[in-house]
Amino acid sequence: MHKNSIRNYIPLKLAGLLLVTAGSIFASGPATGGGGGTTTSACSWIQGFSAKAGYPPRGALLAGNAAIWTTVNFQQCDPAVVAKATFTVTNLDTNDLPQTWAFYVIGKIATTIDDDAVALNTNFRVSVVITDGTGAVLDSRSVVVLTPPAKPATTTGA
């Protein structure tokens, strides 16, 4: 590898590591299942994708809501391509504006996005789309999840 290439390569790998670390710090909850999608090359930018609905952890700020945990594994198929991953969570029952997160894919990234602010007993489409700098879709995955119903009220008594 040429000296200038190494100088440019190291900061990019460090940026990818920071994205992985940031994703791990804010992640919580399990994820299973997965969904269909498309890829436009022999290399799959999305190596794994799954989403699971459940209840937020006890003591969460948004008690009375459901949670969706989306786990995804990315691989940068072409080091010359700057790719962006965009996550979208869409309420299919009300068609409200979707919640969206985005970050760049550099190297290999494994992360879980924890959304603790979704409605109970509701259908959501969870999707991730990888695009290049021109906006062309390189890979995508999508799955529909149903969040759980409200928990029954508990009573304390003698």
pLDDT tens digit string along 91-125? 999 988 899 999 999 999 999 999 988 999 999 99
- Quote the pLDDT of residue 132: 96
What three-state secondary structure class fits 113?
A: strand
In a domain, 134, yes or no: yes
What is the mean pLDDT, run by run of 10 residues, along the chain of 158 residues? 39 37 35 46 89 82 82 94 95 92 92 91 97 96 96 66
- Order across the sheet with 46-54: list the strands: 46-54, 66-75, 108-118
pLDDT for the residue 39: 47
**pTM of the complete model:** 0.69
Residue 92 lies in a domain: yes
| Distance of alpha carbon 67 from alpha carbon 45, whole angstroms | 26
Domain count of the chain? 1
Domain residue limits at 47? 3-146
